[in-house]
Structure 1
């Protein structure tokens, strides 16, 4: 490696790991936005080639490769592919291991190019990689990629306020509301929920949940239902206010994007599927997808037998269970679901297919969304055509890609943080498990 020409002032030299580029293909630009020089180890190119056919992330690998090729074609000096590395003094590293080759590349950049930079930084989303690199590298800083991390580790629970019965009003259609007063009620986002203590039924207690629309907070009817299900109480512990709010957001035609975030057994997926079926006359089809990520992020997809549909089957089982539960409610439900599946009005798709298609008048459900990156969220949401509603469900406490995603950097947290409060967006955070006493115990204490 050699540096040609003069340089007025030193800049940063950044060596990037593969997982950063897969996490955010635009990192190619973000890591150079302040004049930095980006060094891409040759093994990163090799890894991108190996990932290009992988479900869920193959789309990102191909996108990164295209960006790198375009930049290299114009001979942009701020992006350098490093193909020659040395392992002298790095005996701890195994030249056969891609991570070790990336670490070695960072040291070589420091040794050969350090005089041109005020510091050399290795950027990786992999905690183990960062740990190894800090123990081995000399005069090279090691950092996580945080260009798209949220400040908060997930959205907050539904706000609780007091509303006396004298403050309630009724419109001509029999809907109840009260006026939103920011100084009194505090900060409540658009389409946000408010659990209300009130004396409307006599003594003061939790009486209803409302949704904010502009300067009005509308009381959500306690009998809200969708496709035969209603908010589920368990053990007589009172109404499930979170499910009331979520179901209302899912049925609200003015809300085009819904985020449902909460622990296992809170009813997120079932509510989303039921709401889609309830509104099928308003949409051409229901499309359901979830990331094909194994527990602990083990990549076994290629070892599963069959075509892509067969490979997807294990991930789709919870969604089929939701449809099965709804089918058992009534014979009418069962016939509707069977007919819609046979006529492909309910379909299951891979995320790569979704990210390459425009959806019009579609009710689109993305389950287990905590395993998506912010970039993947963007590429999915931007596929929404006219008349489409999107629903993302997930639990930031059950991230399977834990070496690369955290409660702050996953796409669900990031997207909620960026989009909440818009008139098109509704967010519900669940705090009550309804699956069973055992599931509730595990969710609270483990």
Structure 2
């Protein structure tokens, strides 16, 4: 039996005398630029393998004169203390991301004693915040284990996180400083601000920065003349306008530059084109392209190889003969979305769009067709984040499905449209009691997200509605429930986020759209035009 190949990338340690000296970071570099590069990469910190742990132990014993080859292959060097920035973390940063202490690259981290005390108060419970508090405590325990004194700090790469080349410092002595403005004594935020001011006074040559998710905390710090910034690591993108849309319009000179050596063939009723040109390198696999000139083209990118790409024509779902459960596409983006929803090779589909663009209707129509007609899936499962827009109405009686029904008003509305639009309904009868509706309801299950962990769905059509209210970790928990033959559909509008501490750049929906782009078995479409009613369209623009 042949042995498995060694990994191509592995964190290793080499002597600094054998490697070219790394350029030291400029001392006056803005503080925000230190955290943002690591944040925008949104790097993961999985459990380190045994080899990385031995490397970290060797590096910790040897001292700060070693260069490190990080997981991405770049050589890094531990900077001198006067060239490293010192970031003071607020408690809410640790509760927001339990891996945050490993994501400040070559810079140092300082944890005030009050932060550890607040962390201890938050560790009880089953919520995401409590889980993060317990995870941070485990990381801290692993870092300080077998450490004699903490007055000189602890190397952050001790657990195998080779990209974290800084030092973790705990508050071991009383730090008191007179603030420029008198603040109430005893409030946690004011105590942390006092610690930051004392550190800035004690280390005048170092750049001391407070990192907090609390806007008011950052405003108070700036008012006191202290550096403060938000935690950028959870942001997938800086601007929601830069989010991948899944659609690319072709320029007017497309055929002029790319139509010289076109190869075309047909297979399975689909026409394929192999084109060559500079635009091909910008294509993503499963991205839709269109050209509406003299030679119109509506196609999907199937393969990208340098400056060559293979395009495949799509099915026209705007025609009545290709209707999906009586639904036809009303615009270009809806046609693209139905091509993804009806494609058995596409396991993950994400649909973004404002209210009234048809996200839920298209997903339900595709699910019913492939469940009741083609028998591709056994049933439809619908779930969503139960985040109220107004005041919470309290606990709801009944079973799991009965508790979820008030959150599933969109499901009932769309089922009524699909049933009445088929032309089989009798207006004199209650549509909800129709035998056809009873059959449809028997194949649709409404599930709560609270009981998803540990489950595996086989041959299901899983719809995650209002996915913009999910965190990246919650989204990962749901998507990893998929078993063989399961298709997952994520629907949402990142402009309507109701979850506290989530933004357009840090939403779980934004996270999966960015991470799944280019995968051959996934697709994404941003629906642009509302099709609900002229009143809804005008309200979306005017209000």
Normalised TM-score (structure 2): 0.64
SS of residue in 1 equivalent to 2:382: strand
> Judging changes above 3 Å, is the alpha-carbon distance between structure 1 residues 168 and 176 closer, same or farther for their aligned structure 2 residues?
farther
Aligned residue number for residue 236 of structure 2: 149
Partner residue of 2:218 out of 116, 130, 133: 130
> Judging changes above 3 Å, is the alpha-carbon distance between structure 1 residues 283 and 127 closer, same or farther for their aligned structure 2 residues?
farther
Report Cα offsets for 1:254-275 as digits up to 9, x if no partner.
Answer: 1111111111110111111222
Whole-angstrom distance in 2 between the partners of 1:81 and 1:346: 55
Higher RCO (C-alpha 8 Å, min separation 6): 1
> Judging changes above 3 Å, is the alpha-carbon distance between structure 1 residues 346 and 241 closer, same or farther for their aligned structure 2 residues?
same
CA contact (8 A) 1:209 1:244 kept: no
SS of residue in 1 equivalent to 2:291: strand
Aligned residue number for residue 43 of structure 1: 118
Deviation at 1:404, TM superposition (A): 2.3
Aligned residue number for residue 9 of structure 1: 81
Deviation at 1:75, TM superposition (A): 5.7
Indicate whether 1:118 and 2:206 are aligned: yes
CA contact (8 A) 1:259 1:393 kept: yes
Question: Which piece of structure 1 moves more, 183-192 or 114-123?
Answer: 114-123
Partner residue of 2:449 out of 339, 351, 375: 351
Aligned residue number for residue 388 of structure 2: 294
Deviation at 1:140, TM superposition (A): 4.4
Pairs aligned (count):
409
SS of residue in 1 equivalent to 2:282: coil
CA contact (8 A) 2:355 2:530 kept: yes
Aligned residue number for residue 24 of structure 1: 97
Deviation at 1:176, TM superposition (A): 3.1
Whole-angstrom distance in 2 between the partners of 1:180 and 1:336: 48
Aligned residue number for residue 353 of structure 2: 262
Partner residue of 1:317 out of 409, 418, 428: 409
Deviation at 1:172, TM superposition (A): 4.8
Whole-angstrom distance in 2 between the partners of 1:115 and 1:358: 55
1:172-211 equivalences under 5 Å are 172-183=267-278, 187-199=282-294, 207=296, 209-211=298-300
> Judging changes above 3 Å, is the alpha-carbon distance between structure 1 residues 414 and 75 closer, same or farther for their aligned structure 2 residues?
closer
Indicate whether 1:389 and 2:487 are aligned: yes
Aligned residue number for residue 226 of structure 1: 324
Whole-angstrom distance in 1 between the partners of 2:94 and 2:379: 34
1:328-347 equivalences under 5 Å are 328-330=420-422, 331=424, 335=435, 338-339=438-439, 341-342=441-442, 345-347=443-445
Question: Which piece of structure 1 moves more, 61-70 or 422-431?
Answer: 61-70
Whole-angstrom distance in 2 between the partners of 1:38 and 1:310: 46
SS of residue in 2 equivalent to 1:303: coil
Indicate whether 1:242 and 2:333 are aligned: yes
Partner residue of 1:212 out of 301, 309, 317: 301
Whole-angstrom distance in 2 between the partners of 1:92 and 1:303: 38
Partner residue of 2:475 out of 377, 389, 401: 377
Whole-angstrom distance in 2 between the partners of 1:275 and 1:79: 55
Partner residue of 1:70 out of 138, 148, 165: 138
Deviation at 1:390, TM superposition (A): 1.5
SS of residue in 1 equivalent to 2:408: helix
SS of residue in 2 equivalent to 1:328: helix
Decide which structure has the larger Cα Rg and report it.
2
Question: Which piece of structure 1 moves more, 429-438 or 9-18?
Answer: 9-18
RMSD value, Cα? 3.8
In the alignment, structure 1 segments of 5+ residues that lack a partner are: 1-5, 201-206, 233-239
> Judging changes above 3 Å, is the alpha-carbon distance between structure 1 residues 75 and 408 closer, same or farther for their aligned structure 2 residues?
closer
CA contact (8 A) 2:470 2:507 kept: yes
Deviation at 1:335, TM superposition (A): 4.5
Deviation at 1:127, TM superposition (A): 3.3
Deviation at 1:193, TM superposition (A): 1.0
> Judging changes above 3 Å, is the alpha-carbon distance between structure 1 residues 378 and 251 closer, same or farther for their aligned structure 2 residues?
same
Deviation at 1:372, TM superposition (A): 2.3
> Judging changes above 3 Å, is the alpha-carbon distance between structure 1 residues 353 and 128 closer, same or farther for their aligned structure 2 residues?
farther
Indicate whether 1:425 and 2:514 are aligned: no
Aligned residue number for residue 17 of structure 2: none
CA contact (8 A) 1:22 1:61 kept: yes
Report Cα offsets for 1:224-282 as digits up to 9, x if no partner.
Answer: 432221213xxxxxxx1100101111111111111111111101111112222222222
> Judging changes above 3 Å, is the alpha-carbon distance between structure 1 residues 22 and 303 closer, same or farther for their aligned structure 2 residues?
farther
> Judging changes above 3 Å, is the alpha-carbon distance between structure 1 residues 66 and 178 closer, same or farther for their aligned structure 2 residues?
same
Whole-angstrom distance in 1 between the partners of 2:108 and 2:118: 24
Whole-angstrom distance in 2 between the partners of 1:386 and 1:143: 41
Whole-angstrom distance in 1 between the partners of 2:484 and 2:171: 42
Deviation at 1:301, TM superposition (A): 4.5
SS of residue in 1 equivalent to 2:338: helix
Question: Which piece of structure 1 moves more, 189-198 or 323-332?
Answer: 323-332
CA contact (8 A) 2:360 2:414 kept: yes
Whole-angstrom distance in 1 between the partners of 2:106 and 2:412: 45
Aligned residue number for residue 40 of structure 2: none
Aligned residue number for residue 248 of structure 2: 159
Normalised TM-score (structure 1): 0.77
Deviation at 1:311, TM superposition (A): 5.4
In the alignment, structure 2 segments of 5+ residues that lack a partner are: 1-62, 65-79, 145-153, 155-167, 304-308, 426-430
